[in-house]
Amino acid sequence: MRKPFLTGLILAVILTPAASAQARPRQSTTLKLVDSRGAEVRLTLDENTEVLVLGTWCPTSRRLDTMLKDGLARRYTRNKRLVYVFDYDELAHRAAPAVRSGKVSQATLDAYVRSQPPGALVVDRDFLSHVAARQVLFYDDKHPIEHEVVPVAFSDAPNRFHLNYGTWLVRNLGMPRDVKDKLFALHPAEGGG
């Protein structure tokens, strides 16, 4: 009589994601961001909120979003509130290096920016329409986020994003390394690298 109960208990322990065992208490942090209309939003982080900075233009960000939609990853994200944060004016900030390098003329960039409505959200809206995140927010010049690359995860230092997304999958979501490696294999980087 006890054997089926014990077997069920053992299976429940084996099949439960390890996220709760690896979770660390998160310091109370509030990020000031903006929504798609440019209105300020205060995002308070807790142990169930995971925040990532991505770029709609970035193949690696698109890869991560695809991986997070995969059934292998969903068991590790289903109890998390995933929030993606994007640059409100991706085009201007991404185009600046292209202008400096001569790939795009400043006149061309200025003409495009003038053609947009004042305060317009300049990102790939199609990509935003089907992301894995439950919430999408933005940073802008008045609500800056410090980060050097995308995609990158929040790492429990106020307004500090510097956690590699592969490490984030294992450390913050509790995903076993072999599952992470399988996701990486199933969803190769653009160009196969």
Query: DSSP string spanning the chain?
Result: -HHHHHHHHHHHHHHS-THHHH--PPPPEEEEEE-TTS-EEEEEE-TTEEEEE--TT-HHHHHHHHHHHSHHHHHHHTTSEEEEEEETBHHHHHHHHHHHHTSS-HHHHHHHHHHSPTT--BS-HHHHTT-S-SEEEEEBTTB--B-SSSSEEEEEETTEEEE-HHHHHHHTT---HHHHHHHHHHSPPGGG-
| pLDDT tier for residue 56 given thresholds of 50, 70 and 90 | confident
> Which domains does the chain show, CATH number per domain?
31-88+123-192 (3.40.30)
Residue-wise pLDDT tens digits, 63-103: 999 999 999 999 999 999 999 999 888 877 776 666 777 76
Q: Are the CB atoms for 35 and 67 separated by under 8 Å? A: no
Which of the residue ranges 50-59, 103-112, 123-132 has the most confident prediction, judged by mean pLDDT?
A: 50-59
Q: What integer pLDDT is reported at residue 22 of this predicted model?
A: 47
Strand-pairing partners, residue 83, are: 51, 135
Q: What integer pLDDT is reported at residue 114 of this predicted model?
A: 74
Q: What integer pLDDT is reported at residue 127 of this predicted model?
A: 84
Q: What percent of the chain has pLDDT over 90?
A: 42
* Bond before 151 cis per omega within 30 degrees: yes
The more confident residue out of 142 and 26 is 142
Q: What integer pLDDT is reported at residue 32 of this predicted model?
A: 93
Residue-wise pLDDT tens digits, 140-182: 888 888 888 889 999 875 557 888 999 999 999 999 999 999 9
- Mean pLDDT, the chain, integer: 80
* Token code pair at residue 186: 């199933």
Q: Are the CB atoms for 131 and 117 separated by under 8 Å? A: no
* Nearest in space to 50 (alpha carbons), one of 19, 71, 21: 19
